[in-house]
Amino acid sequence: MAVFQVVNRTTGDHFTCQEGQSVLKAMEQRDLKCVPVGCRGGGCGFCKIQVLEGHFECGKMSKRHAPPEAVEKGEVLACRIYPLTDLIIECVPLPEAAPAKQTTKNR
Amino acid sequence: MKKGVMRPGHVQIRVLDMDEAVKHYTDLLGMIETDRDDQGRVYLKAWTEVDKFSVVLVEVDEPGCDFMGFKVVDEAALNQLEKDLVDYGVGVEQIPAEELKDCGRRVRFTVPSGHAFELYADKKYTGKWGVSSVNPEAWPRGLQGMKAVRFDHCLFYGPELAAVYDIFVNVLGFHLAEQVLDPEGTRVAQFLTVSMKEHDVAFIHHEEKGKFHHASFYLDTWEAVLRAADLISMTDTSIDIGPTRHGLTHGQTIYFFDPSGNRNEVFCGGDYFYPDHKPVTWKTEELGKAIFYHDRALNERFMTVLT
């Protein structure tokens, strides 16, 4: 089975990804946190990345978070892309988080 | 139920891949497929539910929730509630009978948080699945996965909670069972009931309209929740958090995602409500404990990942 190298240019992290495995799953397996993890189902848009170099296959993703014109430019969800070659990726700023976030502190 | 709204009746959930979704809701949650229609929608029910379906799956390119429906006691109540909504200034849309198979006419309206709800009085009564209505056995054999008992409630994220409260409480006859207040006294979460349950629908404040946090399914016991956790691992299903307990409602719970990223909950226990109960209040300073009673800290994913 082919193994590909994924480099996150934003954070400097790199990890291996097996053929048929999603980039997000490979990252989680290595206990890295260089891409935010949301629903892992292509639905919430949390793990949006920009693929700078390399080829990949795409699973189904929410049109809201990965419209076809963005996918064309390599703006995809890490939970739904499967490398075909080594990849260089970078993080994309998260959408605005919920206002409740400010109250997460607990004594 | 003082205005005739009886209980949650159905939820239509948008999925990216129908085959994966049906497998999730049947093999893992343990719902039963009861029908399909010419739009390609799939109808499911949990085994104790007496009507034909409670979950409708529709395949589109953006996951989330299309609408949640409440069953009302009869056609007279439906007519009155429809009139009350219109008089209150809420626009209603008529959905004809059979638009959902074996379901009567529905009155659809959208509340200011951006979520669509429906009221209906009739749906085909098919009885509990796998058990007789005469001298019934305790449970049916052949249930799959988590053996979900019933579709229980939904939690929605959106703005204008006060206006949503007015419609649900003043027009539809719901009660406020629990709330979260910020330091200024603004309600940022509201748990509403039409029954003895702790909540039949809930809302949390969020700037963006119309977001779906989760659909929840009831299980009998804490043991069943732990078994659900085992099944989530066995099937490599995307987990959110749990098993744990909520402060709000005190239910014992686990959260996970369907294959399209819609969040599901299975839970057991929790408080009960009678109409003479005053609302339970949590303060945002204790929001961590309100949401996750054991960790007493929020998990960011739980608060911000939505479809």
- Per-residue pLDDT of B73-109, as tens digits, reads 999 999 999 999 999 999 999 999 999 999 999 999 9
In a domain, A78, yes or no: yes
Give me the residues of A, 12-41, that contact B with CB < 8 A.
37-41
Q: What is the pLDDT of residue A94?
A: 64
CATH number for position A43: 3.10.20.30
Q: What is the ipTM of this complex?
A: 0.91
Burial of A81 (0-12, 13-18, 19+ CB in 10 A): buried
> How far is Cα B182 from Cα A92, in angstroms, rounded to an integer?
31
Beta-carbon count within 10 A of B192 CB: 23
Residue type, B24: H
In a domain, A42, yes or no: yes
B63 interaction partners in chain A (CB closer than 8 Å): 41-43, 62
A58 interaction partners in chain B (CB closer than 8 Å): none
In a domain, A106, yes or no: no
CB contact (8 A) between residue B287 and residue A41 = no
Which ranges in chain B belong to alpha helices (H)?
18-23, 75-88, 161-165, 222-234, 287-291, 300-304
> How far is Cα A3 from Cα B129, in angstroms, rounded to an integer?
47
Q: What is the pLDDT of residue B1?
A: 79
Q: What is the percent of chain B with per-residue pLDDT over 70, rounded to a whole number? A: 100
What is the distance in angstroms between the Cα of B160 and the nearest Cα belonging to chain A?
A: 13
Q: How confident is the model at residue B300 (pLDDT cuts 50, 70, 90)?
A: confident
In a domain, A30, yes or no: yes
B215, B154, B263, B206: which is closest to A44 by C-alpha? Answer: B263
Q: How confident is the model at residue A106 (pLDDT cuts 50, 70, 90)?
A: very low
Work out the average pLDDT over A67-84.
97
CB contact (8 A) between residue A43 and residue B307 = yes
CB contact (8 A) between residue A43 and residue B157 = no
On whether any CB of chain B is under 8 Å from the CB of A58, the answer is no
Q: How confident is the model at residue A1 (pLDDT cuts 50, 70, 90)?
A: confident
Q: What is the pLDDT of residue A103?
A: 36
Specify the pairing of strand B64-72 against strand B92-95: unpaired
Q: Is the pLDDT of residue B168 over 70?
A: yes
3-state secondary structure of B117: strand
> How far is Cα A32 from Cα A29, in angstroms, rounded to an integer?
8
Q: What is the pLDDT of residue A40?
A: 97
B269, B271, B277, B263: which is closest to B306 by C-alpha? Answer: B263
Work out the average pLDDT over B228-254.
96
B297 interaction partners in chain A (CB closer than 8 Å): 104, 106
In a domain, A50, yes or no: yes
On whether any CB of chain B is under 8 Å from the CB of A100, the answer is yes
CB contact (8 A) between residue B301 and residue A37 = yes
B110, B126, B191: which is closest to B152 by C-alpha? Answer: B191
3-state secondary structure of B261: coil
> How far is Cα B35 from Cα A11, in angstroms, rounded to an integer?
49
- Reading phi first (left if > 0) and then psi (alpha if -120 to 50, else beta), residue B8 is in beta
| Peptide linkage before B275 cis (omega within 30 of 0) | no
- Full residue range of the structural domain in which residue A16 is found: 3-91
CB contact (8 A) between residue B304 and residue A62 = no
Asked whether B192 and B169 are in contact (CB, 8 A), the reply is: yes
Asked whether B263 and B256 are in contact (CB, 8 A), the reply is: yes
Task: Write the CB contacts of A31 (distance below 8 Å, at least 6 apart in sequence).
Answer: none
In a domain, A97, yes or no: no
Task: Collect all residues from B whose CB is shorter than 8 A from any CB in A.
Answer: 16-17, 61-64, 157, 182, 188, 204-207, 238, 257-263, 284-289, 296-298, 300-301, 303-307
Q: How confident is the model at residue A93 (pLDDT cuts 50, 70, 90)?
A: confident
Average of per-residue pLDDT values in chain B: 97
Q: Which residues of B are known catalytic residues?
A: 153, 199, 214, 246, 255, 265
CB contact (8 A) between residue B303 and residue A42 = no
Q: What is the dihedral of CA B146, B241, B216, B60, to 10 degrees?
A: -100
In a domain, A23, yes or no: yes
> How far is Cα A97 from Cα A103, in angstroms, rounded to an integer?
12
| Domain total of chain A | 1
> How far is Cα B155 from Cα B202, in angstroms, rounded to an integer?
5
Average of per-residue pLDDT values in chain A: 89
CB contact (8 A) between residue B307 and residue A96 = no
- The model's pTM is 0.95
In a domain, A104, yes or no: no
Query: Most A CBs within 10 Å: which of B203, B204, B291, B304, as the mutation test of the A interface?
Result: B304
